[in-house]
Amino acid sequence: MQSLANYSDNDQELYIDFNVQQAQHELVVSTGTVASTPDKPNEDAHCVLESDGILIAGIFDGATSLRPILKLKNQSGARFASHFLKDTLRSIDNCQPLTDVMIELNERLLTANSMLGGLLSDVHSLPASTATLITISKNVLSFAHVGDTFGVVYFKDGSSNVFTSDTNEKFDKRVLTLLKTISDNKKISPRDARNDALLKEALFETARDKNNNPNGRGSGIVNGDPNITKYIQAGTIDLAAVDTILLGTDGMIPPGWSIQRKHDRDKLRELIEKNGITGLFTVKHEIEDNDPNWHKLRFKHSDDATVVFINIVR
């Protein structure tokens, strides 16, 4: 197995481009990742591999640790989980269905989390990450997905489709609504409201309610919990009418934009094609910096951002 987007822990800002020749087409791949700020470790990760003519890609967004995990010392649980999954993907038998790959990643993370003192009974003790995995082989895209990372296919006729489901969205909306309510009631900025005790308590409760909830009404996340099987979304897409594939973490979307709106999906593609992934990140950071009080509601001023962008050349 060949690592095509292989990198060390020095990933504050990193871009890797390469081409992959397959029988039906050539894949022109651009990847990029950037930390939220120059002085904060990147909690996103990605991995692109090739094995026997099959392209394999994974994109991971570490979930913010709401409580310190002492054995990690200065490393956050989010960074540990996303980078553990990135490194582990390279060692898994990728000939198996991607759902099984996701389950194996989850099981291996459980072993690692247990060594850190993590308990399945306490979601806050488990380093965690969302994940989207794809393979491209014989003009077919296969995928497995949990959480709020995402995948988009752009078709030759100009249409596009988000092929992943964001099970985390309803929980984010609930907490962002509370953030806006606190801001309005206390006449403070949303940025200041983020530090309100009521909001912090809501974040703790929401994580408990959503992360692999056994009732099936939560949100999937890779943290070692076997209930992840209730939340893995998987499928295949015929690539005959597709010319571009985009994988991303939610932090790559500029504030005020939505991956669910075709107009915004088109803008993302146009930005990357015209100015590269660096151009997209520049626009994202400009929008964030021009909104210092977070009136475009979000949980942090800037989030880590990661992109895998694949053009199919026939």
Question: Does residue 94 have a pLDDT over 70?
Answer: no
Specify whether the CB–CB gap between 92 and 105 falls below 8 A.
Answer: yes
Residue 143 CB neighbour total at 10 angstroms: 24
Q: How far apart are the first and last CA of the chain?
A: 24
Question: What's the topology of domain 2-165+218-313?
Answer: Phosphatase 2c; domain 1 (3.60.40)
**Among 15, 4, 87, 105, CA closest to 48:** 4
Torsion angle of C-alpha atoms 302, 172, 143, 304, degrees rounded to 10? 10
pLDDT in tens, 186-205: 999 999 999 999 999 999 99
Average pLDDT over the chain, rounded to an integer: 94
Quick one: what percent of the chain has pLDDT higher than 90? 87
**Cβ atoms of residues 67 and 119 within 8 Å:** no
Residue range 131-146, pLDDT digits in tens: 999 999 999 999 999 9
**d(Cα 58, Cα 149) in Å, to the nearest integer?**
10
Distance between CA 256 and CA 271 in Å, rounded? 16
Q: What is the mean pLDDT of residues 13-26?
A: 92
DSSP state, residue 310: E
Model confidence band, residue 217 (pLDDT cutoffs 50, 70, 90): very high
